[in-house]
Amino acid sequence: MSKNMNLTLKVWRQKNSDTKGKFVTYQADHVSPDMSFLEMLDVVNEDLTRKGDDPIHFDHDCREGICGSCSLHINGRPHGPKQGITTCQLHMRSFNNNDTVVIEPWRAEAFPVIKDLAVDRGAFDRIQAAGGFVSVNTGGVPDANAIAIPKVIADEAFNSATCIGCGACVAACKNASAMLFVSAKVSQLALLPQGQPERYRRVQAMVAQMDAEGFGSCTNTGACEAECPKEISITNIARMNRDYFTAKLIKQEEA
């Protein structure tokens, strides 16, 4: 039977985006190694609430690794020390007794702090709204096999579509670039027949919105791919860049 652990937590506390924040130290004692990271924070918050203190604010929803809400920077890495998982899938057995665990929010100008560890990722929603969709009159549901799509293309589009928009790519990037997120959303439609009519308008609109939101430029360090919990490939960035420059050339030829 695994023994419980005692941990020292250094947690970023910040009232809102207009105030200065600081690290506050908490003791998390008798932590079961079978707890998830968020369950551990729940226990810490229960103790703070009993003492009449303000609990630590952090985002969470499904706790199944599919919603992208649990955006925590743990010991210098988005979502913690394991690869290919979100924070809610991280278990305390990944740490050792008497470890010090540093917990921060995503650090990016485009993701202002709401409170403590929770940040506003509305910038991603606005990028998606700028062009991450297909404009069609839906009508009746078409037959699933009405449009033949090669399996290799369908698989690649699906892999791009697995992006959950958590923002780990931005948090991992030294420039706070959103290129991996945007390129995944561009690629999932650019690869499919249904996305072709708006392909070049889409990429220009989404890149323009990304720039307007204040994200940094991509310098191809690969940190985004390394820390992405869904392991989205940076080949999507290359595809998006090709589409973007093709769109510019088409626009020049039409002028």
On the 0-12 / 13-18 / 19+ scale of CB atoms within 10 A, 160 is buried
Question: How many domains in the chain?
Answer: 2
**Pick from 197, 50, 168: nearest CA to 107:** 168
**Least confident piece of the model among 13-22, 65-74, 244-253:** 244-253
Q: Any idea what the CATH number is for the domain that residue 162 is in?
A: 1.10.1060.10
CA distance 128 to 157: 16
Looking at the structure, tell me whether residues 74 and 126 fall in a common domain: no
Looking at the structure, tell me whether residues 163 and 247 fall in a common domain: yes
Looking at the structure, tell me whether residues 38 and 135 fall in a common domain: no
Looking at the structure, tell me whether residues 126 and 248 fall in a common domain: yes
| Residue ranges making up the domain that contains 50 | 5-114
Give the 3-state secondary structure of residue 240: helix
CA distances from 103 to 68, 143, 156, 167 (A): 17, 48, 34, 16
Looking at the structure, tell me whether residues 150 and 248 fall in a common domain: yes
Looking at the structure, tell me whether residues 24 and 104 fall in a common domain: yes
Q: Any idea what the CATH number is for the domain that residue 34 is in?
A: 3.10.20.30
CA distance 218 to 47: 42
Task: Quickly state the pLDDT bin for 255 (edges 50, 70, 90).
Answer: low
Looking at the structure, tell me whether residues 150 and 101 fall in a common domain: no
Chain segment 207-253, per-residue pLDDT in tens: 999 999 999 999 999 999 999 999 999 999 999 999 999 999 987 77
Kind of pairing between the strands at 118-119 and 22-31: unpaired
Looking at the structure, tell me whether residues 132 and 75 fall in a common domain: no
Identify whether the C-beta of residue 187 lies closer than 8 Å to the C-beta of residue 126: no
DSSP-derived secondary structure for 50-107: HTTPPPPP---S-SSSSS-----EETTEET-SSSS--GGG-BGGGS-TT-EEEEE---
Looking at the structure, tell me whether residues 146 and 30 fall in a common domain: no
Looking at the structure, tell me whether residues 137 and 234 fall in a common domain: yes
Q: Decide which of 48, 80, 114 is a domain's last residue.
A: 114
Looking at the structure, tell me whether residues 136 and 248 fall in a common domain: yes
Looking at the structure, tell me whether residues 104 and 131 fall in a common domain: no
Identify whether the C-beta of residue 128 lies closer than 8 Å to the C-beta of residue 41: no
Residue ranges in 132-198 assigned as alpha helix (H): 151-161, 168-172, 179-190
φ, ψ of residue 56 to 5 degrees: the values are -75, 125
Average confidence score pLDDT of the chain: 94
Q: Decide which of 76, 97, 114 is a domain's last residue.
A: 114
Sequence-distant (6+) residues with CB within 8 A of 44 are: 9, 26, 28, 56
Span 4-29, mean pLDDT? 97
Kind of pairing between the strands at 73-74 and 113-115: unpaired
Number of C-beta neighbours around residue 220 at 10 A: 11
Residue 247 identity: A
Strand partners, 74: 77, 103
Task: Quickly state the pLDDT bin for 140 (edges 50, 70, 90).
Answer: confident
- The answer to whether the predicted template modeling score (pTM) of the entire model surpasses 0.75 is yes
**Pick from 44, 176, 202, 160: nearest CA to 121:** 176
Residues 209, 212, 218, 219, Cα dihedral to 10°: 160
Q: Decide which of 114, 132, 149 is a domain's last residue.
A: 114
